[in-house]
Chains A and B, each alone.
Chain A
Amino acid sequence: MALDSADGEKAVFGVPQEQSFSVMFYRKDILAKLGIDTAPTTWKEFEKVTELLIAGGYDIGLGTTSSATDIQNIFITMLYQKGGALYQNGGTEISFSQDIALDAFTEVCEFYTLKKLPVKYDAANRFRTGEMPILVADYITFYNQFTIYATELKGMWGFTTLPGTMRADGTIDNSVISTITCMVVMRDAEDKKDVAFDYMEWWTRDSIQSQYANELVAVLGPAGKYNTANYQSFTEMPWSASEAKLLKKQFENLVGMPEMPGGYIISRYVNFAFLEAYNNGKSPSDELQGYVDTINREMERKREELTRAFFIPTDYNLFG
């Protein structure tokens, strides 16, 4: 994990500790009743399923907007699936003026403006009553909550990987944005650096992470699963065989959103653009494009500030 600077040379690294990403939960019983046997694998199929469900009076949950980052989640996922990237020009500018980004954003907004998917909903309740048979949510937090929340539905729900986008050559791009929590050592912790590093090395060891994850489940029960970033212990967690297969497949397609100075401003304006489209029916691509200059200016200010204040290290050597 790295905080990059513009030229890609100076960087800050962190060791991954926890990793979360979205998957698509679905109610097997309700979908079977409607004649949908296989979960959609591409966004085009997903749109068809959406139309079928909306016509039947059901809802689909594509992520709540209780925080600004959820629209961004699906939007950036689609952007990466189409082969785009978040930044351009070596990370100095946001790529939202490119057609590929505007198309992805319009596609996401249209789920809410044209197909009328709900913007805010209580996921657990709606999934349980069956009004929302398909739901995009975090793979562990929702899983943990729902396992103990709706015990009467055991076996009637499952999850699968998010829909992908068809590439030109016919294969499906399944990239999904993931959020990662990392550990870092402060450079100014002079005498404690070695101790800190030893602790980091111990904590992120395969065996220790597995042990921690298993103990959490032993103490908290099935709702205690832990979203470790360690691939080894991730595969050793008590998932069922089919669940583990799906998760491994998704894990291999995870993409980390690169973090550049000033990047915090992106979710704010993406949210503003979305709300303008949703509340007032404006064109999503126009709105998003209108904010490109503001975002670029903020990134430039922060980049200037951080390189001047040299806490992006120039010659930091992790190993000596």
Chain B
Amino acid sequence: MTMFQWTIKEMKRNYIAYIMCFPFFFIFTLFTVGPVVLSLFYSFTIFNLIESPQIVFFDNYIRLFVDDDVFLTAVSNTFVFAVITGPVSYFLSLFVAWFINELPPKIRAVVTLIFYAPSISGGIYMIWQVFFDSDSYGYANYVLLRLGIITEPIAWFKNADYVMPLCIVVALWTSLGVSFLSFIGGLQTVSKDQFEAGAVDGIRNRWQELWFITLPNMKPQLLFGAIMSITQSFGFGAIVTALAGFPSVNYAAHTIMHHLEDYGGQRFEVSYASAIAFILFCIMIGANLLVKKVLSKVGQ
């Protein structure tokens, strides 16, 4: 029988499995796949939620690349965020997990909590705004003024020079999240026999152990962590809005997400925002594929 006929026969035989998958796939299609396709459709129109959409083909994309200098600023900001926050937080998670792995179990639990807490505690990153308040009585300003390092209070989150570095620091601080926990779990699962075998085979130091034994055993967790950190770093927007206002001064911390919200939520040019969203979607998929390729080389 043909491949197709065989496929249908197997599907009928395993119909229970398909029924079990159905709820998830239904909701996934309705709320994730559907909107992506719809957004792609709207990106070829002019639509403001009130009039019916008019098809204009590639006008939105042409305008995006040719006529929109804020978009170019947003792209460069997003790449700076993604390149710094993504890999740095990824390696930070990995190394912190590796060091924590050495500690005895009870202390390990406490230290893990300390590092993991910022990412689960909702809006706690606002404490950075309290610390770096523009008010001369804010903590950072007051200390610097008392020490005589500055003579006037600095408007930290409203200053184009400081807002980006501050947001990157906050991003790293909140980024030790789920992937961090998965690394800790992954490190636990590496069996001790492999280390002993490695010692016999000539592994000389901890770094070799890490590269040849630990990391290859953790490939699933590495992949998961990479995908999570890339998705997070490209979609990083809500924290910047909360800390630096919308839009940030001179668009200095304006990412593609903000540009999207600006056109979608403030100016109601939903079609243009859809075009921006689709571009972001393509960038994220591209980055994911690239990282998968890099990770497949781990341990060689």
A binding-site residues for B, Cβ under 8 Å = 65, 68, 116, 118-122, 264, 268, 271-272, 275-276, 278-280, 298, 302, 305, 308-309, 311
Contact = CB atoms under 8 A, between A and B. Distances in A.
Nearest to A67: B245
Contacts of A280: 160
Given A120-B133, A275-B155, A278-B155, 4 more contacts: A65-B158, A121-B136, A279-B155, A302-B267
Contacts of A308: 51
A interface SS class:
helix
A123 to B, nearest CB: 11
B53 interface: no
Contact of A279 (B48, B135, B158): B158
A265 B159 CA distance: 20
Nearest to B159: A279
B50 A311 contact: yes
Interface string B15-58: 00000000000000000000000000000000010110000000
Given A68-B245, A272-B249, A272-B250, A120 B155 contact: yes
A118 B153 contact: yes
Contact of A119 (B50, B134, B160, B266): B134
A122 B159 CA distance: 20
A-B pairs, 4 with minimum CB distance: A120-B134, A120-B135, A279-B159, A275-B249
A275 B153 contact: no
B161 interface: yes
Contacts of A309: 48, 50-51
A276 B158 CA distance: 10
Nearest to A302: B267
B59 interface: no
A305 to B, nearest CB: 7
A88 to B, nearest CB: 23
Interface string B119-159: 00000000000000111110000000000000011010011
Report the contact-size class of chain B (Cβ under 8 Å from the partner). 20 to 34
B48 A275 contact: no
14 contacts: A65-B158, A116-B152, A119-B153, A119-B158, A120-B134, A120-B153, A121-B135, A122-B137, A271-B249, A272-B249, A275-B159, A279-B155, A302-B267, A305-B48
Contacts of A276: 250
Interface in B171-227: none
A284 to B, nearest CB: 15
Interface in B83-140: 133-137
Contacts of A302: 267
Contact of A275 (B51, B152, B250): B250
Contacts of A268: 247
Given A275-B159, A305-B48, A122 B245 contact: no
B158 A275 contact: yes
Nearest to B250: A272
Contact of B135 (A118, A271, A272): A118
A217 to B, nearest CB: 32
Interface in B226-274: 245, 247, 249-250, 266-267
Contacts of A298: 267
A275 B245 CA distance: 13
A58 to B, nearest CB: 13
Nearest to B48: A305
A118 B48 contact: no
B165 to A, nearest CB: 14
Contacts of B51: 308-309
Contacts of A119: 134, 153, 155, 158
Given A278-B155, A279-B158, A309-B48, A118 B136 contact: yes
A122 B136 CA distance: 10
Contacts of A68: 245
Contacts of B134: 65, 119-120
